[in-house]
Structure 1
Amino acid sequence: MKLDAPVPGGPCWTELGTSDLEAAKRFYEGLFGWRTETDSREEAGGYTMAYLGEAAVAALTPLYQPERPVAWSVSFAVSDADVSARLLGEAGGRVLLGPMDVFDLGRFVVAADPGGAVFQLWQGRSFPGAGVFNAPGALGWAELLTRDTTRAESFYTTVFGWTVRPSDRYPQLGVGGEDFGGMLAMDDRFPPEVPPHWLPYFAVSDVADSASVAASSGGATLMAPMTVPEGPRIAVLRDPQGGVFGVYEPLTD
């Protein structure tokens, strides 16, 4: 991801809803070197921030609805959550929750695109989003897995004004020409029960080492380390509770 700070339309945050908050904290602290802090306020519901140094990079939360699957979600920065919520509805998406305020931190919306992939809108106030991107342990790429790339492209370019770098294999998504993610068509390799979704990728210094650490901590490798043609080395991993995420080694100039 070339973006190095939250900008309107770009990914600004990622969070995991998990069935075992304490176990997830231990897993990701060991994998990424995060320091975690759980908000002690009752109304915060166990919301836990993850830091690299003093910079917030992600969050871990309990499953506020027990029927929800364990999953990572991606938030996109907007200047007005209410206006963006209206736009996405007009473009064929659905508002699942909100718009609503989170203390003095900002205003958010949980939404789904026309294919069913869930994401969030974040209108930052005192908290704009992640304090670092692309560094080991920080968000560095956001990938949409969808069964209808044409409809998805139309939806997201309408709502966010994204740029799309065309490709038969893997269109890349950007804001103002700065790529932050890609779009992968879900084919027969994906079982019908796997819904369209957003997948965050975290930067790491060594993909193979990260896969090994994840496995030794109770996780699993879903896609073995591989090198993307003319791109980075990547892998897709799963934590012990079932949360799926990607890791990649940033390209050097």
Structure 2
Amino acid sequence: MHGRFVWHELMTSDPAAAAAFYAQVVGWTVEDSGMPGLDYRIASAGKDMVAGIMDMPPHLAESGARPHWLGYIGVNDVDAAAARLTAEGGAVHRAPEDIPGVGRFAVVSDPQGAVYCLFHASTPGAPAQPMATGHVGWNELMCGDVEEAMTFYHRLYDWQKDTAMDMGPLGTYQIFAVGGVGLGGMMRKPPEMPGPHRWQYYFTIEGLDGAGERVTAGGGQLLGQPMEVPGGAWIIPCLDPQGASFSLVSMAR
């Protein structure tokens, strides 16, 4: 599982409302994790656990952080990966620590400031099939320098360049893969996009228009029009009711 995204987690101002929203939009079943002293909810697509939903940690809320999604990249050794990351110009924001019975993790950022987590599971599971309904179907990095980012992630996680597409003024859209499986893409962050360089995650659903209607009915926002992308998929960027950014992807409009 080294180099693959193995978990996604929402830090939000209202976990109960967020759980209801994503259950409606994506079709998840959301249940309490049972972790003592922590409101942590597990979202599942069928029998597969795919994401966590938790209250925003106080120190982040006090610093003005908005609700956001985090991706967890699997590594063989969290401590070694964190040390390598700092040597390559990244930063460790939360030192490696254990989650009893679950695994070991650290919160980090790449040299351009995009935050994510390192993770090694106590009992690794099998990766989801690409574009499986209810799973994260695409992981997209908005950054300042695509070549620099690609070099960094290749050195740490052996990500390989896949197809590259010319996006005109926005530069190149670089798809990356691990073991021949496409995991996501990288592109230059548009200057009008607010906030820092960041990762954006695409949730796979069946029928983009219907899911978009569920977004607005649930109090979220659509940030653009449905767009068809190479390969025949349709996408649309969104905000949930608490302000966390995410996208939807479907093979059918």
TM-score of the aligned structures, taking structure 1 as reference length: 0.90
> Which residue of structure 1 lines up, in the alignment, with residue 57 of structure 2?
64
Where 2:70 maps in the other structure, the secondary structure is strand
CA offsets, 1:5-51, max 9 Å, x none? Answer: xx2101111110000011001101111221111133334x2111011
- 2:13 maps to which of 12, 19, 34: 19
**Compared CA separation, residues 50 and 233, structure 1 to 2 (3 A):** same
Matched residues in 1 for 2:238 and 2:229: separation? 16
Q: In the alignment, does 2:208 pair up with 1:204? A: no
**Compared CA separation, residues 132 and 102, structure 1 to 2 (3 A):** farther
**Compared CA separation, residues 118 and 49, structure 1 to 2 (3 A):** same
> Which residue of structure 1 lines up, in the alignment, with residue 87 of structure 2?
90
> Which residue of structure 2 lines up, in the alignment, with residue 78 of structure 1?
75
- 1:122 maps to which of 119, 124, 131: 119
Structure 2 stretches lacking a partner, 5+ long:
167-171
Where 1:170 maps in the other structure, the secondary structure is strand
Q: In the alignment, does 2:50 pair up with 1:53? A: no
**Given residue 213 of structure 1, which amino acid in structure 2 is its aligned partner?**
R
Where 2:123 maps in the other structure, the secondary structure is coil
**Compared CA separation, residues 127 and 48, structure 1 to 2 (3 A):** farther
Further displaced range: 126-135 or 231-240: 126-135
Where 1:104 maps in the other structure, the secondary structure is coil
**Compared CA separation, residues 122 and 128, structure 1 to 2 (3 A):** farther
CA offsets, 1:61-98, max 9 Å, x none? Answer: 10013233200111111111111111111111001112
**Given residue 238 of structure 1, which amino acid in structure 2 is its aligned partner?**
L
> Which residue of structure 1 lines up, in the alignment, with residue 249 of structure 2?
248
**Given residue 185 of structure 1, which amino acid in structure 2 is its aligned partner?**
R
Matched residues in 2 for 1:164 and 1:18: separation? 33
Matched residues in 1 for 2:28 and 2:241: separation? 17
Does the aligned pair in 1 maintain the 2:207–2:251 contact within 8 Å? no
Does the aligned pair in 2 maintain the 1:171–1:182 contact within 8 Å? yes
Deviation at 1:137, TM superposition (A): 1.6
Identity %: 33
**Given residue 154 of structure 1, which amino acid in structure 2 is its aligned partner?**
T
Where 1:42 maps in the other structure, the secondary structure is coil
CA offsets, 1:218-240, max 9 Å, x none? Answer: 00001221101444111111100
CA offsets, 1:118-137, max 9 Å, x none? Answer: 00111011354876662222
Where 2:89 maps in the other structure, the secondary structure is coil
Aligned ranges for residues 1-253 of structure 1 at < 5 Å? Answer: 7-43=1-37, 45-65=38-58, 66-67=61-62, 68-126=65-123, 128=125, 134-165=131-162, 166-168=164-166, 169-191=172-194, 194-250=195-251
**Given residue 224 of structure 2, which amino acid in structure 1 is its aligned partner?**
M
Q: How many residues align?
A: 242
Does the aligned pair in 1 maintain the 2:219–2:240 contact within 8 Å? yes
Structure 1 stretches lacking a partner, 5+ long:
1-6
Where 1:223 maps in the other structure, the secondary structure is coil
Does the aligned pair in 1 maintain the 2:73–2:117 contact within 8 Å? yes
Does the aligned pair in 1 maintain the 2:26–2:204 contact within 8 Å? no
